[in-house]
Structures are given as structure tokens and as C-alpha cells.
Amino acid sequence: MNRKRALISDAFKVKRFRNETQKFGAVSKGDGPTDIRSTLETLMTLFPRKLFNDSLPQIVMKHQLYSIHNDKTLVDKELNKLREQGELLMFQLGFDADAFGLVFASDYKAKVLAGEDGRATRATVEKFLEKLPSACTELSFSKDKMLKEFRFTDSEITQLVKSGVLTVRDAGSWWLSIPNSGKFTKYFIQGRKAVLNMVKKSKYSEVLKTELEERRTTSHVKFQMKYHIHDIVGAELVESIPTTSGTLLRFVDS
Amino acid sequence: MLDSSSFLNLQRVLSLKLNPDRDVDRIHGNGINTIDIEAVEGRYMLSGGADGVIVIYDLENYSRKLQYTCKAVCTVGRSSRYVHKFSVETVQWYPYDTGMFVSSSFDKTMKVWDTETLKPAEVFEFEGNVYSHHLSPIARKHSLIAVGTTDPKIQLCDLKSGSRIHVLQGHRAEILSVRWSPRYDHILATASADSKVKVWDVRRASGSLFTLDQHNGDKSKASSEAVNTAHNGRVNGLCFTGDGLYLLTTGTDDRMRLWNSATGENTLVNYGKVCNESRKRLQFTVSRGCSPEFVFVPCGSSVAVYALHTGELVTMLRGHYNNVDCCEFHPDYQELYTGGKDCNILAWVPAPRAPDVEEESKSANQAAADQSSVNPAFQDAWSSDED
């Protein structure tokens, strides 16, 4: 009687015990290098370009990818590969030690140059952008590096800070940054707080993901709901629980 | 290298469940802070509680029934003259036989006990609370006990002579965890509230070998204050893998990191958020004998199981009524024992499977451990629906 079931070797399945390793409703795509890129592009489309009058390149947070792909280590590795190839830039946005923003290098260069049109600092910024591909894996630059490796003068560094491409980190070192991204950070944090509150105030502090996506957003939430949901799930600010009615998001008290 | 025994062990670990048939005697009246299973036979387990009580259990099943309770063999209870005055934070068997064990406590003492008489053969006194101590599991040339207390200096005490041999200086805040390498008997890892983890060679007179750096020397990644730190918070948990090649650390920044123990390099495996609210040492453990390996980390009132090298959260083991404080893996049977604030020690045993008609191979491991799996009550005696 057991012969029929044992024909396919179930040596790799521990499925007799239907425990929590079964996932329903979770979107977990195959993890190949192209898949991370396509996930990035999908997430980029969620970014609201009109809100900033198209002056900002599309920004995606690194942890938003964790909400789509299960294997965080693999995501990290693939992102590092893309950065080394010079296609992707990573930024330390400043509000969280772990929150990194990702922008396609071509996008970044295009927007920065467009923003620098007609400004006195344009030449210096162009020079800096040309040096970027070689420095694609750095998040910050120290004074030493700027002066010796890149051969910028002090006044040129000041110009770069003025234009917003560099932000002061501490005495003698600068973060790589996106010009005019202050508004982005402000709206992002505001929206994140508002969405988290929506989850927290729901009954039992939990809400189905599909339901949350359909809720009316207050004026505090300027980005698309999906953008914020990927953010809070990836940053583990809410617990993502698979249920028979879809994914449930439960507020994590910490 | 995937041989049949490690593969079968892997299956066993993946099917860990709370076993209703295996109970551990409930002796502690207060939370259980630490447990240790002796390495020689894997038969006796020590536990230390928040009330200072120490209990020894026999894990072997002599009752011939499926359901059995691991009985407490003896106890150093509140009535003993030598019992610790405050909570016991660490207990460890002497690595070579069960004639001796060492316990350390918040009463600022570390006691070396004779198991037969349950009297301390040696008492070491310290200036501050003792968070953690550890004896090297493989040392033959020395019998040093590394002790971590509220003092930033790590003490090395000699078990045989009863004196303090050495002091390791370098940390700037209290030492929350100390661990000897299971591969080299002179390598010691220490974790401190100053966010740093240092690896020492105790044969050298100079300072530490290296300090673990979460950014692997990449100074551009974080703010300048975070140079050479293992975590962005207190580091309160240390665990070497069974082969000693990797070291796991946990910190109050809710992260767990896997390091190459020879080079100190951060392997950058991303486990996500590993909840850590412990103000003391976090006792977590790694499986041994299966491939791939798993990490068991107490997380609130459940135990999170992560795959060691991919960082994936495999499952959460739920069963305790209150916070889980410690867990220990039994290498011979791939079982997990956890103790917590609800005064219970729970045994997580791989769930028994009904044997397939085709299945012939059973490795020696399984044969020894299969006391419960071929019980007639679990065999499928009904005819199949598909017939």
C-alpha cells in the first residue's frame, strides 16, 4: 500500500509534517542575476517621479528587495556584483544605519547633470561623475582620497558639497549623496510612519496585505502604498505571515 | 561533503518538533538560564536557574515506554550550604568526565563542583557579576577557564591549581560572553558591551590577535565611531561552529553575523532581524553533524532556526510559555533542548516517520537513536485510499 507513494523518492521532502515551511501566496522568484535586476526595475516603477518634478532619479531601498526574495545573502551578493560592474550606486541616506538607497548609475548621472544645467558648479560635477565608475563601490570618501586619488582641490570639494553630490559625514569625509534628496527622505519617513500606524491601529494590529493596498491613504502618504509595503516588510517592521487568505502583515512591537 | 549520515541528520533537524512523549523533570522554581549536555556519553544534562539552583538530569530512557521523563539525578538546591546566592548564569561539565562541573553566578563567584558529593572543590571570587565562563572542550595542555565579568579584563583561571594565571586586557566595557575555539586549544573569543569581539591567542603575552570588524575594513560604510566593531550595539552572544572554522556573534542591534574564525572576516551572510533583547549573555547554539548546518537562536518565547550559510529563516519552534533563555543541541541524536523563564526544559525531537516499504538503509546514528520511530502505533496499517 505504501509502494505507490514511495515511488518518487521523497528523500528531500520533509513534507509529511505540514509545518510552517509551506508558503502560500508568497511571491518568491528564482534567484539568478537577471532576476535581481528585473526586481529592481519593477520596484523602480513604483517610485513617484512626478512628485519631485522629475528632478530625482528613481530610488529603491535595499531592504525592499528582501521582501520579494527570500535569500537575503544572495540579494546582497548580486547587488554587490552590480555595483562592481558600475551599473548600480548605493547611498547611505542618513536616517537609518541600515537603510541604503539604490539608484542606477546611468539614471543618477543623467539627473545630476540635468540639475546642474546652467550652474557654475557644472564642470566640477561633471569631473566627479566621470570618476564615479571606478569608485562605484564606495559610499563615502575621505579627504585623502579626494585630494590624492581624484585630484580635487579644496574649493572643488566645496563646490561638490554645494551641488549636493557630497554630504558632510564628519571632519574630513563625505557621503556620496543624491542632490535634492532631502524631500525624498522626508516624505519617505513620513509615509513609512503613517503606513505603520495604519497597521498598528487595525484590529489585533494586523491587516491583510491586499486589504492594506486598497486602503485610502492620508495626505501624509505621498508614495504608492506598494512602495511602502515593500519597505516595511523588508525592514522587518512588520511580520509577514502566510495565511489561506493571502499574506498577513502584523505589527512588530519592539 | 554529503555522506549518508549527515544527510539523514539534516532530515532529522528539519523535522524537529516539540515531542509530547519526552518530558524533563520540572525541578526549577524559577527561570532556567543555562543548560549543558556532557560530551562524553551525551547522557547527563546540567541546568542552572535564576534561583541559584543547579540540577543534573539523566536523558537516557530506561522505561521501555515511548513516553518518559528525563529524571533529575541530583540537585544543588536552596537548602544546600554551598548553593549560589544569586542566579546561576553559566554551567558547564568538565569536558572529559562527569565527575566535575563548573558554575558561575551573579553572586560574583565561580564554583568547581565535585559531582559525587555536590560540594565545591574550588571557589573563585570576582569583583563583579560573572556573565559567562568557558572551559576549552579540547584542551589537553592546559585547564584554563576563561571568565567574563563586569570588569573589562578577562580572567583566565587554572582549574588544576586553583589560581588565576592570566588577565587579558583590551576591552572597554563588561564582558558578556567568552568562548574557546573547538579547533585550537589556545584560541579564545570574547564579546563585550563595547560592541567589539576580540580573538586571543592565550599563549602570547601581547594583546588580542584581531578584533572583528563588521565592515571588513571598509571605512566608507559607516560612521567613524563604528570602526572595528562587530555590532552596532552590545555583543552578547558567541558560538563557534562544530568544526571551529566559523564564529557566530549576536548583538543588541538585532543582528547575527557569521565570521571566518581564522581571518576574522565578516562573511556577510544576512540573517535579517534577529531579535535580541537580552541584557546578559544570549545562549544560542549550532547543530553538529548535518549538512547544511542550522543555528538555533532564542527569540522571545520561541526559537528561531536559521540555515547557517544562507541566512534563511527555516522555522520558528514554538512551545514555551515565556521567554526562552538557553538552548543546547545534542549532537548524537540531533535533538534540541531549550530552557526558559517558564521553568520548563523542553525537548525538541525529530518527529518519527512511518517507515517506507522501500527504505532499507539506516546509518548507525539512526539505529541508536531510533528508540521511538518504529513504534507499531505509528505504522500505517490501513489500506490505501488509492487502491
Residues of A in contact with B220 (CB under 8 A): 138-142
The shortest C-alpha distance from B91 to chain A (Å) reads: 30
Q: Please tell me which residue, B96 or B351, carries the higher pLDDT value.
A: B96
The A246-251 sheet, strands edge to edge: A206-208, A246-251, A238-243
pLDDT at B308 over 80: yes
Q: Would you call A169 and B223 a contact, using CB atoms and an 8 Å cutoff? A: yes
- The pTM score is 0.81
Q: Would you call B270 and A21 a contact, using CB atoms and an 8 Å cutoff? A: no
- Report the pLDDT value the prediction gives residue B86, as an integer from 0 to 100: 93
Q: Would you call A71 and B312 a contact, using CB atoms and an 8 Å cutoff? A: yes
The shortest C-alpha distance from B312 to chain A (Å) reads: 6
Residue of A nearest to B316 (CA): A20
pLDDT digits (tens, 9 = 90+) for A77-90: 888 888 888 888 88
Q: Please tell me which residue, B216 or B244, carries the higher pLDDT value.
A: B244
- Of A162-171, A227-236, B262-271, least confident by mean pLDDT is A162-171
- Report the pLDDT value the prediction gives residue B370, as an integer from 0 to 100: 39
Count of beta carbons in the 10 Å neighbourhood of residue A168: 11
pLDDT at A27 over 50: no
Residue A14 touches chain B, beta carbons under 8 Å? yes
pLDDT at A11 over 70: no
**CA distance linking residue B370 with residue B335, whole number of Å:** 12
The shortest C-alpha distance from B221 to chain A (Å) reads: 6
pLDDT digits (tens, 9 = 90+) for A194-244: 999 999 999 999 999 999 988 888 888 888 899 999 999 998 899 888 899
Residue A34 touches chain B, beta carbons under 8 Å? no
**CA distance linking residue B160 with residue B233, whole number of Å:** 36
- Report the pLDDT value the prediction gives residue B361, as an integer from 0 to 100: 37
Which residue in B265, B256, B263 sits closest to B308, CA to CA? B256
Facing residue for B358 by CB, picked from A6, A17, A72 = A6
Percentage of chain B lying above the pLDDT 90 cut: 45
Count of beta carbons in the 10 Å neighbourhood of residue B287: 25
- Report the pLDDT value the prediction gives residue B113, as an integer from 0 to 100: 94
Residues of A in contact with B384 (CB under 8 A): 1-2, 4-5
- Owner of C-alpha cell 546578559: B280
pLDDT at A13 over 80: no
pLDDT at A6 over 50: no
Residues of B in contact with A232 (CB under 8 A): none
Residues of B in contact with A139 (CB under 8 A): 220-221
Residues of B in contact with A66 (CB under 8 A): 272
Task: Show the cell assigned to A245.
Answer: 487568505
Residue of B nearest to A63 (CA): B272
- Report the pLDDT value the prediction gives residue A93, as an integer from 0 to 100: 83
Q: Would you call A97 and B232 a contact, using CB atoms and an 8 Å cutoff? A: yes
B139 close to B145: Cβ distance less than 8 angstroms: no
Q: Which of A8-17, A160-169, B149-158 has the highest mean predicted lDDT (pLDDT)?
A: B149-158
pLDDT digits (tens, 9 = 90+) for B73-111: 999 989 999 999 999 999 999 999 889 999 999 999 999
* Mean pLDDT value across chain B: 84
- In Å, what is the CA distance from B330 to each residue of B38, B44, B63, B286, B334? 9, 11, 20, 10, 6
The shortest C-alpha distance from B313 to chain A (Å) reads: 9
- Report the pLDDT value the prediction gives residue B193, as an integer from 0 to 100: 93
**CA distance linking residue B383 with residue B114, whole number of Å:** 57
The B130-135 sheet, strands edge to edge: B130-135, B144-149, B154-158, B164-168
Facing residue for A72 by CB, picked from B311, B383, B387 = B311
The shortest C-alpha distance from A50 to chain B (Å) reads: 31
pLDDT digits (tens, 9 = 90+) for B173-209: 999 999 999 999 999 999 999 999 999 998 887 788 8
Residue A73 touches chain B, beta carbons under 8 Å? yes
Compute the count of residue pairs across chains A and B with CB atoms less than 8 Å apart. 79
* Spatial CB neighbours of A134, under 8 Å, sequence gap ≥ 6: none
pLDDT at A160 over 60: yes
**Across A48-52, average pLDDT:** 83
- Report the pLDDT value the prediction gives residue A165, as an integer from 0 to 100: 84
**CA distance linking residue B10 with residue B4, whole number of Å:** 10
Residues of B in contact with A172 (CB under 8 A): none
Task: Show the cell assigned to B159.
Answer: 582549574
Q: Please tell me which residue, B227 or A53, carries the higher pLDDT value.
A: A53
DSSP A158: H
The predicted complex's ipTM stands at: 0.73
Residues of B in contact with A14 (CB under 8 A): 11, 14-15
The shortest C-alpha distance from A91 to chain B (Å) reads: 10
**CA distance linking residue A84 with residue B273, whole number of Å:** 26
Q: Please tell me which residue, B242 or B225, carries the higher pLDDT value.
A: B242
For chain B, how are helix, strand and coil distributed in percent, rounded to 5?
5, 40, 55
Residues of A in contact with B2 (CB under 8 A): none
